[in-house]
Structure 1
C-alpha cells in the first residue's frame, strides 16, 4: 500500500476542496504515488436558441508529478 508524503497529502486535499464537479486521478507505480491529475468541469448555460438549448462544458486539467 502506498503512503502519501506531506506534499502529496496537501495537493490532494487542496484539489478535493477546490472542485465542485470533476475528478481526481492518483497514479501509482511500484507502490508509490507518482502523479495526481485533477480535472475540473464547469458548465455554462447557453442562451436559448430556436433549435435547442444546450450546455457548454469547459474542462480544466492540472497534473502534478511527484
Structure 2
C-alpha cells in the first residue's frame, strides 16, 4: 500500500491540475474570458465565456 500524501503534497498536486486545466481553457480561446472561483485557497470552478464576433451585413 502507498502512504497517504501529506496536505502540502495534495495542495501542490491540486495546483498543478488547476494550471493544466486553465491552459486547456486558454488554448482554443481567441476572444473571451476565463474566470476562476477560489474557495479556501483552492480552485473550485473555471468558467470560460467565448465571444464570437459577427461580420456586419
* Category of TM-score, reference length = shorter chain: 0.5 to 0.7
After TM superposition, the score normalised by the length of structure 1 is 0.58
Give the secondary-structure state (helix, strand or coil) at the position aligned to 2:51. strand
**Would you tell me which structure has more helix in proportion to its own residues?**
2
Q: TM-score, normalised by structure 2?
A: 0.66
The residue aligned with 1:5 is 16
**Which has the larger share of strand?**
1
Structure 1: gaps of 5 or more residues: 48-66
Question: What is the 5 A alignment of 1:1-66?
Answer: 4-6=15-17, 8-47=18-57
Misfit runs of 4+, over 6 Å:
none
Q: How many equivalent pairs are there?
A: 45
